[in-house]
Structure 1
Amino acid sequence: MKFGIWLPVYGGWLRTVDQPTAPDVASCLAIAQQAEALGFDFLYASENLLNCIHGPSEGVADAWSLLGAIAATTNRIGLCGAVKPGFRSPFLVARMLDTLSKVAERPLALNIVCGWWKEEFELSGVDWLDHQGRYDRAGAFLRDLHGLFQPAQRLASEVGDKDAAPAFPTAATSGAAPSYGLDEASIPEVWIAGHSDRAMRMAAEWGHCLFLNGMADEELRRHVEAARQEANRWGRTIEIAVNAYVVATETSSQAKERWRAVMARRNTETIGFFREVMSQSGAAAWAALDEEQMVDSNAGFELGLIGSFESVRARIPVLEAIGVDRIVCQFDDPMRDAGPFAKRVIRPLQQSVGAVGAA
């Protein structure tokens, strides 16, 4: 199991009446340094140009500017950033990845997010398409991105609109496919975010990792099994990442009391606003969420990492048995909570695995 921290680029992660509603870039940079020192495996930065936790009147930190700063000030921790196809062209993203991988001196990961907020698209001058159209655009984006890094190779498969012209010259149009000086070693690990069948198929064909919201165990098991069966049809394997809101304390009663206090302070007005926005998007992940599940932006409480350090530690092998490979952690206060989680949950798990391996 690998553990990451979701950088708080929107301010606090909860839709409650007392959460900080603006991003703190200095804190994000400090969290990155701390996460590397604690031994977390990766950092995740989400891309939204509007604040998808607290509403459009609040600010948000740009994911890729932040990752550039983190790449220059850390050495080992993995870096994953989200991109919405249409907001950035494949060629721009290829150049970003080529440069950032040299700054970081390590491989990068790219999460493809098709988006769900119509206003964000309109403000950015990007065509708002239906759910199917957004995935078609994402498929064309991935095809072109890989083609830019691998100009001598024609991809064996296509996704999305097969009749769409590529966004760059090819051997057929120019006699030779130019490289543009892009380093093939900068091709990122690809994550695909989403719960729909289309997201699963895209992950199976293109992705290294399918990124899911928190959900109950049986539903999670069905998603994992279906995703891996689909990947097997392509002769591929994929990993599963899941979002989790972590509340780990000395006792389970303390953790549950913190959770109940969060639910009592939920901001019903903000939740209602986003329920309406999401209902217009056609995104499958949001359709059945109730008000409590929407207190966290990605249903992170559903993964069940609420309890004593011991009970949370015992929960991890259960998730691993279901098929989860990576947990993307959100915390009330990462600077306060990530350290105890690493020391009381992650390290004992690693030591137990090491002991089994030695035996």
Structure 2
Amino acid sequence: MSQQQSREPIKFAYWVPNVSGGLVISNIEQRTNWTIEYNQKLAQIAEKAGFDYALTQIRFTAGYGAEFQHESVSFSHALLHATERLKVIAAVLPGPWTPAVLAKQITTINHLTQGRVAVNIVSGWFRGEFQAIGEPWLDHDERYRRSEEFIRCLRGVWTEDKFTFAGDFYRFRDFSLKPKPIEPLPEIFQGGSSRAARDMAARVSDWYFTNGNTPDEIAKQVNDIRQKGAASGHQPKIGVNAFAVARSTEAEARAVVQEIIAKALPEAVNAFGAEVKNAGLASPEREGNWAKSGFEDLVQYNDGFRSNLIGTPQQIAERILSLKDAGADLILLGFLHFQEEVAFFGDQVIPLVRELEARREGARAAAE
């Protein structure tokens, strides 16, 4: 980890519940709602609480507890309209979107919101969804090759006049997008844990999202990406998924997680697990984001319990610093009851993180 990166305050993002069912596949009560009214209020709460980003989800079909979904790009714009500083990351799928269409959409929103929109390029894990909407389902590494071309085209259209590109998936000839986005360009995020995903991040992405994990396991991924990035002269920043349960005692927080798991929907969890593991098994190394995920991990879509932000505000703040030490630049958070827990996190946890960061910087300055 470079000194410059390690000294930047860690950033916070939250999953936007624009998809029904919340962030856990469970029948536990969730005071969370997928409607625009709920989410605009949540965005305002998050902005006041000190969050930097919100990430909208992209789903086209129902399943795994997500019966209703709002489209991500237009929903992101609605959240931006309701806020003043928060950045919103719109998740998109190459295939349903083309680089030309997305470049136009995001550039317009970029101008309307003074540059507060970003994109998350989702290579795809849900084969049934692609089949349902008539989109071809590519092999694992082909999906990432397509995503890399998508990103190269997106950035090319945003920066060049008479952009020309002849790839295996996309072609442009003398295309000039006007106006161009406001500088700096919209940030480009991506996820994944496979070899293809990490290699793509090391070449073209601004940010790399990984599933929840321990600091030791996160550090392995970060070091791998940094080594690859050194060869290409490109270093993405790292975002780590986590499901936060902050309570007055650790026992109370652990009890909430146990209740989530006890009330999990086994059929939906197992079906989700089969789908995502099949996607990973299709990679050459036969391992993807959810390769080592057990039933309890899969109850929270992206292994959020593994990051262990479960306990008192002080415990959570200290664990966030451990993830930062492992190389995380951003923590992407899910919650059970979003509005009230995002507010609590901003009031009780983020100030402790900033205090720990300041104390560390003071110690470094004294040592130097």
Q: Same fold (TM over 0.5)?
A: yes
Secondary structure class of the residue paired with 1:288: coil
The residue correspondences of 1:65-76 to structure 2 (distance < 5 A) are 65-76=74-85
State which of 250, 268, 271 in structure 1 corresponds to 2:266.
268
Question: Structure 1 counterpart of 2:302, which letter?
Answer: N
Deviates more, 1:205-214 or 1:140-149: 140-149
Question: Structure 2 counterpart of 1:25, which letter?
Answer: I
C-alpha RMSD over aligned residues:
2.3
CA distance in 2, matches of 1:153, 1:342: 46
State which of 117, 123, 131 in structure 2 corresponds to 1:122.
131
The residue correspondences of 1:47-86 to structure 2 (distance < 5 A) are 47-51=58-62, 53-54=64-65, 58-86=67-95
Whether 1:209 and 2:225 are equivalent positions in the alignment is no
Question: Structure 1 counterpart of 2:149, which letter?
Answer: A
CA distance in 1, matches of 2:338, 2:325: 27
Q: Which runs of 5+ in 1 are unaligned?
A: 171-176
CA distance in 2, matches of 1:123, 1:148: 30
Alpha-carbon distance, 1:39 to partner: 1.6
Equivalence for 1:92:
101
Equivalence for 2:303:
299
Alpha-carbon distance, 1:25 to partner: 2.5
- Closer/same/farther in 2, CA of residues 330 and 191 from structure 1, 3 Å limit: same
Deviates more, 1:222-231 or 1:146-155: 146-155
Question: Structure 2 counterpart of 1:16, which letter?
Answer: S
Matched residues, percent identical?
A: 27
Equivalence for 1:331:
335
Secondary structure class of the residue paired with 2:89: strand
CA distance in 1, matches of 2:96, 2:234: 29
Question: Structure 1 counterpart of 2:107, which letter?
Answer: D
Contact 2:11 2:329 in 1 (8 A): yes
Deviates more, 1:16-25 or 1:213-222: 16-25
Contact 2:80 2:116 in 1 (8 A): no
The one-character-per-residue Cα deviations of 1:117-143 (angstroms, maximum 9, x if unpaired) are 112112222111110111121122112
CA distance in 2, matches of 1:3, 1:96: 25
Contact 1:53 1:297 in 2 (8 A): no
Equivalence for 1:349:
353
Equivalence for 2:25:
15
Whether 1:38 and 2:49 are equivalent positions in the alignment is yes
Alpha-carbon distance, 1:153 to partner: 8.4
Alpha-carbon distance, 1:326 to partner: 0.3
Which TM-score applies when normalising by structure 2?
Answer: 0.87
Equivalence for 2:279:
281
Q: Which runs of 5+ in 2 are unaligned?
A: 1-9, 282-287
Question: Structure 1 counterpart of 2:199, which letter?
Answer: R
Secondary structure class of the residue paired with 2:289: helix
Which TM-score applies when normalising by structure 1?
Answer: 0.89
CA distance in 2, matches of 1:287, 1:348: 34
Alpha-carbon distance, 1:180 to partner: 4.3
